[in-house]
Amino acid sequence: MIKHCTYDYVAILDVDDVWHPEKLTLQSVYLHSYDVIGTKCMFIGDMHGNVSELPTGDISEFDFSLFNPIINSSAIIKKELCYWEENDIEDYDLWLRLRNQNKKFFNIDNILVQHRLHPASAFNTNGHQNLVPELLIKHGYQAK
């Protein structure tokens, strides 16, 4: 679908997540300074009411090997950077690759996404978290 986009930025939204009505407006302030702009989220579903513990502000120097600091459904990304490699943890792979390319990341310190977690979530049920050490090694990090 990326090839059909007519603008310079792509906003990602998983089918079972919900955006705050002002999300895109609040993120647009950072478009010309950053390559990826995320936000904090509140979990819905199995972890209802819990808030993501993410670094906020300019996170370009954050150690992405510690954990994935970008909520996929919160991200706005420059269209030219939108290409995912086919694997089981595509979003974290993309963020690690872009971090290694010294792209600029920012997380807004506002909860602008409701992100659904449930037992049938692909990452939670298919053992994808077990693939993280291999992914980190692929991107030049030591596995945690």
Query: Which pLDDT does position 119 carry in this prediction?
Result: 61
Query: Which pLDDT does position 118 carry in this prediction?
Result: 62
* pTM for the structure as a whole: 0.84
75 occurs within a structural domain:
yes
What is the chain's pLDDT, residue by residue, as a tens digit (144 residues)? 677 788 889 998 888 889 999 999 999 999 999 999 999 998 887 666 677 789 999 999 999 999 899 998 899 999 989 876 665 567 888 999 999 999 999 999 999 999 887 665 554 545 567 778 787 888 888 765
Query: Which pLDDT does position 143 carry in this prediction?
Result: 62
50 occurs within a structural domain:
yes
143 occurs within a structural domain:
no
Long-range CB contacts for residues 115-121, cutoff 8 Å, separation at least 24:
115/14, 115/17, 115/41, 115/42, 115/43, 115/44, 115/52, 115/71, 115/73, 115/74, 116/14, 116/16, 116/17, 116/43, 116/44, 116/45, 117/43, 117/44, 117/45, 117/46, 117/47, 118/45, 118/46, 119/46
Query: Which pLDDT does position 87 carry in this prediction?
Result: 55
44 occurs within a structural domain:
yes
Query: Which pLDDT does position 24 carry in this prediction?
Result: 96
119 occurs within a structural domain:
yes
Residue-range definition of the domain harbouring residue 91: 2-138
Query: Which pLDDT does position 141 carry in this prediction?
Result: 84
Query: Which pLDDT does position 91 carry in this prediction?
Result: 83
93 occurs within a structural domain:
yes
How many separate domains does the chain show? 1
* 105, 38 contact by CB (below 8 A): yes
Q: What is the CATH number of the domain that holds 113?
A: 3.90.550.10
144 occurs within a structural domain:
no
DSSP letter at 51 equals B
Which residues on adjacent β-strands are paired with residue 107?
Answer: 38, 57
